[in-house]
Amino acid sequence: MKNSLISKNRDYRLLLSASSVSNLGDGIAMVALPWLTTMLTSDPLLIAGVATAQRLPWLLFALPAGVWTDRMDRRLLMVRADLVRVALMAFTILMVVSQPSLPALENSSSAAILSLMLIAFLFGSAEVIRDNAAQTVLPAIVAHQDLERANGQMWSAEQITGQFIGPPLAGLLIATSVAMPFGFDVSAYAFSALLVWMIALPPRNLAITTRFLPALMEGLAWMRQNPPILRLAVMLGAINAVFIGGMTVLVLYAQEVLGLSATGYGLLLTFGAMGGVAGGLLAPALALRLGMRCSLLTAIGAFVVINLMLGLFGSTVLTGLALFIEAAAGMLWNVVTVSYRQRLIPDDLLGRVNSVYRFFGWGGMPFGAMGAGALVTTLTPAIGRSGALHAPYLFAAAICSLLAVFAALRLRFDRA
């Protein structure tokens, strides 16, 4: 009975499979793209520039993506986004094989780095469209009372493929050839597109009678009328900004502080995946026992602890433990908040309100990425490279501590 969603619901099974395959590609790209960047340059600002380019679309396109999601066939949006990523990964292969030699740190090609930034930007743009559409599809496939369980299962599967299998597989593929992980991603995104194409969604009215800007303003108005959702979005924006800042410098932290190879870096990220899987499986029951508010306070408290671990120490074991706790806490936050939104927001507004939520919640990520790179660059002459690489995590711990105080004072929820 526990697995009835998977065994009896064909469309949920297809969506779960597509998300798993797509996230396997994402997990490989999560290691391969920054590692390729470090083979072209060792400049933290340029490395942060690639990460910023990938996250910038959340600031630029999150709001219009919501209107597109409510106006168009959500299934087709997901398919087209996956096919765009197929093309981008194929282009990355061509860029890699065109390089005379790698690594090219002494004679780094500005054209190659700019090309990688463009690829990262377009890749992130496709991700904005796909993720917004995918999150609005689930309530049309699964009954509302099953949303926590469905979200928990989906994110656990995504963690297994995207962070448990993907990163170490990327490390092995990079060891074989720098182009190999991108070739694997071509197949993964193409297969994901095929699976999504096979999903049969119930019919819905695609006609939004108002024009683009008034339609967008309807989503903004709904958000303003629901302060708990708005507060969650703003808090998520701060959490994601410092999280992406930490992830941006993690590749250098792993290389220079921990002394890891590409394979070791990929294996390190699997500890995060293990935490994500555990969090995805346990979060529904934990949220039911603790309640929504207490669950979120627990997650924020965990974010403070893990950033202190990364900022104060330089141990591979402690880093792996910190990534495990961070992923588990992040999963608890996601299962609780996404299920709450999916139940509360009307279906005809779901795409637009989700896009407004993600604009606030994800729009700060490019600033976090570039800010972390700038912080390392600025502090290196004063405290040395190793100390500078610890600094973004101490800054993140301070921000999360302030958020914990804010949450304790201001977060209150009505039942949805």
Taking only the tens place, the pLDDT of each residue in 154-200 is 877 877 787 778 888 888 898 888 889 999 999 999 999 999 999 98
CA distance 392 to 250: 10
| Residue 350: other Cβ atoms inside 10 A | 25
Residue pair 223/233 in contact (Cβ under 8 Å)? The answer is: yes
| Residue 7: other Cβ atoms inside 10 A | 11
Single-letter residue type at 194? L
8, pLDDT greater than 90: no
| Per-residue confidence (pLDDT) for residue 349, from 0 to 100 | 82
3-state helix, strand and coil shares in percent for the chain, rounded to the nearest 5: 85, 0, 15
Taking only the tens place, the pLDDT of each residue in 93-136 is 998 888 766 665 555 567 788 888 999 999 989 988 888 888 78
CATH code: domain of residue 99? 1.20.1250.20
User: What's the pTM?
Assistant: 0.72
Per the structure, the complete domain to which residue 279 belongs is given by 4-198+210-410
Residue 17 neighbours by CB under 8 Å, 6+ apart:
195
The pLDDT of 63-78, averaged and rounded, is 83
Any idea of the CA torsion for 16, 19, 21, 27, to the nearest 10 degrees? -140
CA distance 29 to 369: 17
Look at residue 105 and give its three-state secondary structure: coil
Instruction: Output the six-digit token pair for 77.
Output: 């949006």
- Of 48-52, 242-246, 321-325, the least confident: 48-52
Is there a domain that residue 205 lies in? no
- Sign of the Cα torsion 124, 364, 231, 329 reads positive
Is there a domain that residue 234 lies in? yes
- Sign of the Cα torsion 162, 167, 173, 179 reads positive
Is there a domain that residue 215 lies in? yes
- Sign of the Cα torsion 348, 192, 267, 155 reads positive
Any idea of the CA torsion for 270, 272, 278, 280, to the nearest 10 degrees? -110
Number of domains in the chain: 1
82, pLDDT greater than 70: yes
Is there a domain that residue 203 lies in? no
How far is residue 239 from each of residues 30, 107, 158, 404, measured CA to CA in Å?
19, 37, 21, 11
CA distance 349 to 216: 10
Single-letter residue type at 177? S
| Per-residue confidence (pLDDT) for residue 307, from 0 to 100 | 97
Residue pair 11/134 in contact (Cβ under 8 Å)? The answer is: no
Degrees, nearest 5: CA angle 235-310-396? 25
Is there a domain that residue 415 lies in? no
CA distance 391 to 276: 25
Is there a domain that residue 10 lies in? yes
Work out the pLDDT band at 1, boundaries 50, 70, 90.
Answer: very low
